[in-house]
Amino acid sequence: MDKKVRVRFAPSPTGGLHLGGVRTALFNYLFAKKNNGTFVLRVEDTDQNRFVAGAEAYIVDCLNWCGITPDESPGKPGSYGPYRQSERKPSYRKFAEQLISDGYAYYAFDTPEELDAKRKEFPNFQYGQTTRMQMRNSLTLTISEVEELLAANTPHVIRIKVPEQEVVHFNDLIRGDVSFDTSLVDDKVLLKADGMPTYHLAVVVDDKAMEISHAFRGEEWLPSAPVHILLWKYLGWESDMPVWAHLPLILKPDGHGKLSKRDGDRLGFPVYAMNWTDPKTGDVTKGFKEMGFMPEAFINMLALLGWNDGTDQELFSLTELEQKFSVARISKAGAKFDFEKAKWYNHEWIKQSPVSSLHAAVKTELQNAGIEVNDDAFLNAVIELIKDRCTLLPDFVAQSRYFFASPAEYDVATVKPKWTAEKAEFFNAFANNLSLTDAASAESAFKALAEEKGFKPGELMLPFRIMLVGGKFGPGVFDIAILLGAEETKNRIAKAIEVFNS
C-alpha cells in the first residue's frame, strides 16, 4: 500500500452502540491490523443537542469488551489530537470561511420560521440550486447587507454551494465506480448557528488533520459522499482524500430494511453490544454481553455479516480474522441478521473454549443467581461437564445449580406412575454398595445390580437422574454422580426415595 494505513471509527456519543456500529469498528480494526496500520477512535460530539453524558465512556467499554481496542483515542492520545470534535471547534470555522472566500460556500441568514414556511409551501423543499436565489443569504444580499448582519451577530449558517450539472465520481473499495449528479444534491449546512460544524465539514477536516488513509462507514452515508468529495476538492486536498469503502447494511431478519432497536424490542433480541441505560428515563436496553454472549462469539458473528473468507469456515478467532480479512470479500448486498445463528455462534464458542476462559464469567453468573461457589476446582469440573449443553452464559445456572445444592423439588409426576417398592429396594441396595471410582465402573455396577434384581437398566436410569438433579436434564447421570461424590449421591438417593414413597 502506497501510504501508511490510518483508519477511524467515529461514533457520536448519543446512546447505545448498535451492532452495525460495532461491525464498522471491527472492519476498521481488522483492516488496520492486516496492513500494519493504526486504528483511531474519534468522538464526533459536535451535535450538542443529541449529546448524552456517559455515552463516550460506554462506547470505549464496548470496544474493550469486544477486544478491538483503538491505537489512538481521547483516552490514549497520539500525535493527531484532539480526538473529540468539540475540542477542535476553532479549526472548522477557519475552513468554512475559506470556502466562502473561494466562492464554494455562502452565509445563510434564513430563520427557522422562514425555512418552515418554505417547507409548507413546497412539500419536498430542498435548499439548493433551484431555491437558493429565493432565500436570505450572501448570494442574494448585497455585500454591505451581509457585513451588517455579521457585525450584528445575526444567527446564520454556512452552506456549501453545490455546482450545477456536474457528475461527481469516486472509486469505492466495495462498490467500484460510483457517480452522482450534483443537480440532485442540496446545499448542505457546513457550519451551524452555534459555530459547531455538521458531520459534512467535520469529517473532511478531521480526516485530513488525522491523515486518515481509508474511510470505512455504513452504506447509509453514500448519499453524502458527493458533498464530502466536493469539500476535499474545494479545500485543495483532493490528493490526500481517503479511499472510500461503504459497508453493506445489516438488515432486519426478514431482509426488509435496516435493523433497528425497535426490531430488537419487537422480536426479543438485543441490537446493542452492551446494556445501555438512558440517563434521562433510567430505561435499560439489553445488550449482547448481558444476555450472555461471549465477546469472541459476538465478534465472530459480526464479521460474517457481510464478509466471508471464500471458504466454508464459520468459526474465526479475532487473530484469524486479522490474518484473513480482505475488503475484496465484503459483500455489496445487505446482510440479514439472524438471532438463532448468533446464538449458534455463542454455543460453538462455549463448547470450544477452555474452562479457564469460561471460569470467571460462569462464577459471576452463579453468584448473581445466589449460588455460592467455594471450590474453584470443583466449578471447573462442573463447567467441563456441562459446557456443551449451554448456548448462553446464563444457561450455566440452570445446567449446574444441582451440583451446588440438593434439588428442592423433583419431577415426581414422571416417576410416580411406575414407582414400586422393588425399585425403592433397588436404589437402597445400590446406595449401600456405592463405589464411585469412575463413571464407567459405576454404570457397570448399576447395570449388574439391575439385572440381578430383574430390572432393565433403562427403567431405572430416569428415576436415578431425577434423584440427583430433580428433573429430566443434565449430562451423563454417572458423570454427575462422580462429581457429586459417594456421600452426596447416597444422601440424594435416600431423600428422593422418601419423596417418591410418600
Q: In the prediction, which pLDDT does 2 show?
A: 61
What does the pLDDT read at residue 225?
Answer: 96
- Whose cell is 448473581? That residue is 368
pLDDT tens column, 93-132: 999 999 999 999 999 999 999 999 999 998 899 999 999 9
> Virtual CA dihedral for 384, 386, 391, 394, nearest 10 degrees?
-100
Looking at the predicted structure, is the pLDDT value of residue 439 above 60?
A: yes
Structure confidence by residue, pLDDT tens digits, 323-336 = 999 999 999 999 99
Cα separation values, 491 from 70, 434, 467, 468, Å? 55, 11, 10, 9
Q: Do 158 and 189 contact (CB within 8 A), yes or no?
A: yes
Mean pLDDT of the chain: 95
- What is the structure's pLDDT at 200? 96
Amino acid code (one letter) for 147: E
Q: Quick check: 379 and 350 in contact, CB under 8 A?
A: no
Mean pLDDT over residues 417-445, rounded? 94
What's the rounded Cα separation, in Å, for the pair 23 and 40? 15
**Percent over 90 (pLDDT), the chain:** 92
Write down the pLDDT at residue 70: 98
Mean pLDDT within 253-268:
92
Cα–Cα distance, 137 to 156 (Å, whole number): 9
Catalytic residues: 261
439-462: average pLDDT: 95
In this predicted structure, what is the pLDDT of residue 49? 78
| Span 424-447, average pLDDT | 93
In this prediction, residue 305 carries a pLDDT of 96
Cα separation, 198 vs 188, in Å, equals: 9
Q: Which three cell numbers stand for residue 309?
A: 473468507
Residue 93 Cα to chain centre, angstroms: 35
Report CA torsion sign: 269, 272, 276, 280: negative
Query: How far apart, in Å, are the Cα atoms of 367 and each of 246, 260, 388, 402, 466?
Result: 44, 33, 21, 14, 24
Residue that the C-alpha cell 431423600 belongs to: 495
Whether pLDDT at 1 is above 80: no
Range in 48-57, 302-311, 402-411 with the lowest mean pLDDT: 48-57
Residue range 406-419: mean pLDDT, rounded? 95
Comparing 248 with 47, which gets the higher pLDDT? 248
Q: Is the pLDDT of residue 3 over 80?
A: no
DSSP string, 417-485: GG--HHHHHHHHHHHHT---S-HHHHHHHHHHHHHHTT--THHHHHHHHHHHHSSS-SS-HHHHHHHH-
Helices and strands: H and E segment counts in the chain: 21, 13
Q: According to the model, what pLDDT value does residue 89 have? A: 87
The per-residue DSSP string of 118-172 comes to HHHHSTT--SSTTTGGGSSBTTTS-HHHHHHHHHTT---EEEE-PPSS-EEEEEE
| Short-list 139, 136, 194, 193, CA closest to 162 | 139
CA distance readout (Å), 260 to 62, 267, 338: 18, 11, 13
pLDDT tier for residue 467 given thresholds of 50, 70 and 90: very high
Give which of 113, 111, 114, 107 is closest to 142, Cα–Cα.
107
Looking at residue 502, what is its pLDDT? 86
pLDDT at 405 over 80: yes
- β-partners of residue 285 are 276
E strand or H helix at 490: helix 486-501
Nearest Cα neighbor of 299 from 329, 278, 319 is 319
Task: State yes or no: pLDDT of 419 exceeds 80.
Answer: yes
For the segment 22-29, the average pLDDT, to the nearest whole number, is: 98
Amino acid at 475: P
Tell me what pLDDT residue 52 has.
87
| Three-class SS state of 350 | helix
User: In angstroms, rounded to a whole number, what is the distance separating the alpha carbons of residues 419 and 413?
Assistant: 10
CA distance 64 to 295: 10
The more confidently predicted of residues 98 and 165 is 98
Instruction: Cell numbers for 393, please give them.
Output: 452464559
Q: Look at residue 288 and tell me whether its pLDDT is greater than 70.
A: yes
- In the predicted structure, residue 455 carries a pLDDT above the cut 60: yes
Q: C-alpha grid cell for residue 366?
A: 452463579
The residue-averaged pLDDT of 397-411 equals 95
pLDDT at residue 213, as a whole number: 98
pLDDT score at 46: 81
